Structure 1
Amino acid sequence: MANETVEFRLNVVPGDFGLVSLDPECIQSILYTRIAKVPCEVRFSDSYKVCTLFSTPSLVDGKKVLKGNQEITQYLRSKNYNIDFGLNGMKCSTTMAITSLVQEKIRPLLEFVMWIDKRNAEELIIPWHMKVLRLPFNYFYTNRHKKDAENLIETMYPYEDNPEVIKDYLNKAATEAFSSLSSLLGEKDYYFEHSPTSLDILVYAYLAPFIKLPFVSVDIGNMFTNLWPNLEKFVKRIDAKFMPDLTDNARNVIQSERNLVNDEEVSISAVIILSVSAVTLVMTFIVQRGFFRLR
Structure 2
Amino acid sequence: MANETAKFKLNVVPGDYGLVSLDPECIQSILYTRMAKVPCDIRLSSSYRVCALFSTPSLVDGNETIRSHQDIAQHLRMKNYNVDFGLTRNQCSRTLAISSMVNEKIKPLLEFIMWIDKRNSEELIIPWHMKALCIPFNYFYTNQRKQSAENLIESIFPMEENPEVIKDYLTKAAIDGFSSLSVVLGGNEYFFEKTPTSLDILVYSYLAPFLKLPFLAVDIGNMVRNMWPSLEKFVKRIDAKYIPDIIDNPRNLVQIERNMDNGDDVSISAIIILSVSAVSLVMTFIIQKGFFRWR
TM-score bracket for the superposition, by shorter chain length = over 0.9
1:115-156 CA-partner distances (Å, limit 9, x unpaired) = 111111111101100110111211111111111111111111
Partner SS state of residue 3, structure 1: coil
1:87 aligned onto 2:87: yes
Structure 1 equivalent of residue 125 of structure 2: 125
Structure 2 equivalent of residue 38 of structure 1: 38
1:34-64 CA-partner distances (Å, limit 9, x unpaired) = 0000000000000111111341000001100
> Which range moved further: 118-127 or 21-30?
118-127
Partner SS state of residue 110, structure 1: helix
Q: Distance in 2 between matches of 1:282 and 1:54?
A: 18
Q: Distance in 2 between matches of 1:17 and 1:59?
A: 24
Partner SS state of residue 204, structure 1: helix
Q: Distance in 1 between matches of 2:247 and 2:183?
A: 28
Structure 1 equivalent of residue 260 of structure 2: 261
Q: CA deviation at 1:264?
A: 8.4
Structure 2 equivalent of residue 255 of structure 1: none
Q: Distance in 1 between matches of 2:72 and 2:251?
A: 26
Structure 2 equivalent of residue 217 of structure 1: 217
Q: Distance in 1 between matches of 2:149 and 2:14?
A: 20
Q: Distance in 1 between matches of 2:175 and 2:102?
A: 11
Partner SS state of residue 292, structure 2: coil
Structure 1 residues 174, 279: closer, same or farther in 2, change over 3 A?
Answer: same
TM-score w.r.t. length of structure 1: 0.94
Structure 2 equivalent of residue 279 of structure 1: 279
TM-score w.r.t. length of structure 2: 0.94
Partner SS state of residue 195, structure 1: coil
1:112 aligned onto 2:117: no
Partner SS state of residue 33, structure 1: helix
Structure 2 equivalent of residue 4 of structure 1: 4
Partner SS state of residue 216, structure 2: coil
Write the mapping of 1:1-295 to structure 2, written as runs, cut at 5 A. Answer: 3-251=3-251, 260-261=259-260, 265-294=265-294
Identity over the aligned pairs, expressed in percent? Answer: 71
Q: CA deviation at 1:170?
A: 0.2
CA contact (8 A) 1:44 1:259 kept: no
Q: CA deviation at 1:20?
A: 0.3
CA contact (8 A) 2:49 2:264 kept: no
CA contact (8 A) 1:24 1:205 kept: yes
Q: Distance in 2 between matches of 1:293 and 1:259?
A: 36
CA contact (8 A) 2:48 2:134 kept: yes
Structure 1 residues 3, 240: closer, same or farther in 2, change over 3 A?
Answer: closer
RMSD over aligned Cα, in angstroms?
Answer: 1.7
Q: CA deviation at 1:3?
A: 3.4
Q: CA deviation at 1:289?
A: 2.1
What are structure 1's unaligned runs of at least 5 residues?
253-257
Aligned residues: 290
CA contact (8 A) 1:17 1:212 kept: yes
Partner SS state of residue 41, structure 1: strand
Q: Distance in 2 between matches of 1:5 and 1:139?
A: 34
